[in-house]
Amino acid sequence: MNRYMPSKLAGVVALAEIINVLGEELTKEMHRRREARRPRIKRGATLRPSDDTPLWNAVISLVEPRLRRRGARALLARELGLHRARIGEYFKRSSAMPDAERTLRLLVWLSRQPLEKPDAVF
């Protein structure tokens, strides 16, 4: 069986896998919210990483394995125009989230990264 995949298609497949994982996280969150009704977050309030941010939690689970290599955090920080310590706040400590523009840049960066282990994504 031939496993050749054109480079343009590989990027689309990677993005589709990201969307799939995000959808699964959103489904899990929907079920959690049905079970335990919590007070709503005020409109316009600043979101912090928590159970109330299932899509960001899914992004964290996709990015963390790609940051294990030496220098990966510094390269990502350079790509996003941030200090390296800020990457730790986003992905290790979960004490902050990037703004919309940096989140989109992060998703583009994520779609360009090779998959280490396809089974680990799901």
- Asked whether the beta carbons of 61 and 21 are under 8 A apart, the reply is yes
Mean pLDDT value across the chain: 84
How far apart CA 87 and CA 51 sit, in angstroms, is 20
**26-58 residue pLDDT tens:** 998 888 877 666 666 677 777 788 887 889 999
- Asked whether the beta carbons of 47 and 37 are under 8 A apart, the reply is no
Considering the chain, what percentage of its residues have pLDDT values greater than 70? Answer: 84
Q: Is the pLDDT of residue 98 over 50?
A: yes
In a domain, 64, yes or no: yes
Q: Is the pLDDT of residue 118 over 70?
A: no
In a domain, 100, yes or no: yes
- The C-alpha torsion from 51 through 54 and 56 to 60, rounded to 10°, is 80
Number of domains in the chain: 1
In a domain, 122, yes or no: no
In a domain, 59, yes or no: yes
In a domain, 83, yes or no: yes
In a domain, 12, yes or no: no
How far apart CA 46 and CA 38 sit, in angstroms, is 17
Rounded to two decimals, the pTM is 0.61
Determine the structural domain holding residue 104 and report its residue range: 18-34+47-115
pLDDT at 63: 94
Q: Is the pLDDT of residue 75 over 50?
A: yes
